[in-house]
Amino acid sequence: MGIVQARYDPILSTTAWRTRIRTAMTYYSRRPGKDREREEREARERGHPQVKGRWFITDDGQKLPLREAEERFRREVEARQAAAEARKAARERELTERYGRRIRLPLPAHRFYQVVLSTKWAALHDRDVAEILGRAFGGLAAATAGAAGDAYQAASRAAERDARRYEARRERQLARELGYERERAEREQRARDRRHERDNARWAVQYAHGPTWMYVRHANTANPHVHVVAVTDGRGLDVADLNRMRAHVLEREQHREREQERERPRGQGRGYGLGD
């Protein structure tokens, strides 16, 4: 089966993204079901009677109740925004000082993803889900650095063109006065360009963060599935990314089906595994 569904919303400067995230995470956690009742019962037995809803599993393997998971996710988004704005402001100041004019650079696009990974009857293990999401969003993070660098370099090239026009005018004047000064200015400009290219490469890598994701299991359905929430910077998932994710889900699902067929006692019907 190996069904993958994904949608995303851009995270803009307004606060509306907080409502979207809260609505999605609350629904995934508190949708009625026997698996929800079981998780709440287990929470009470562990001394957490206040916990309502299913638990979220994070990208580092922690299990968090809804409100704690939502708070962590919100802090991650805000930290990404603050870090991107700080890096952008620092780089703009550097370029402004270098070229003597105000330089504006683009901010990376933050995206809030909602992804569903669904199987026919054999539930994926937690390590399967972690591997699938790690591959999908990990590859996305690597591509993001390149996309962010491209956007930054386009803005920087525009600033450089203006600066070089100014340099060219200045050099023509210097050439009329003294040819040697023009040659020295060109050598300095080439040295600045080389330093600038090295800075571009370093800054492009720092511009983008890796993804953050967490998910909730819905196990007591005809098709066991997980609901994933994720936040990324830069380039979004495209059709090729989703197709690779579907293929990986299908491969892991078939592996789990073979495992459960071997482990099931003869004559016992299929059940809905809950992962581990």
- For the chain, strand residue ranges (E) read 3-11, 56-58, 63-64, 110-118, 212-218, 225-233
> Among 106-110, 148-152, 154-158, 221-225, which stretch is predicted with the lowest mean pLDDT?
148-152
- Mean pLDDT estimate for the chain: 76
Confidence at residue 143, expressed as pLDDT on a 0 to 100 scale: 44
Distance between CA atoms of residues 202 and 194, nearest Å:
13
> Among 121-125, 162-166, 230-234, which stretch is predicted with the lowest mean pLDDT?
162-166
pLDDT in tens, 19-38: 999 999 999 999 888 888 88
Identify which of 62, 40, 42 has the alpha carbon closest to the alpha carbon of residue 53.
Answer: 40
pLDDT in tens, 107-133: 777 889 999 999 888 888 888 898 888
pTM for this prediction: 0.69
Confidence at residue 109, expressed as pLDDT on a 0 to 100 scale: 76
- Confidence check: pLDDT of 273 > 50: no
Distance between CA atoms of residues 217 and 49, nearest Å:
20
DSSP state of 31: S
pLDDT band for 240, please (50, 70, 90 cuts).
confident
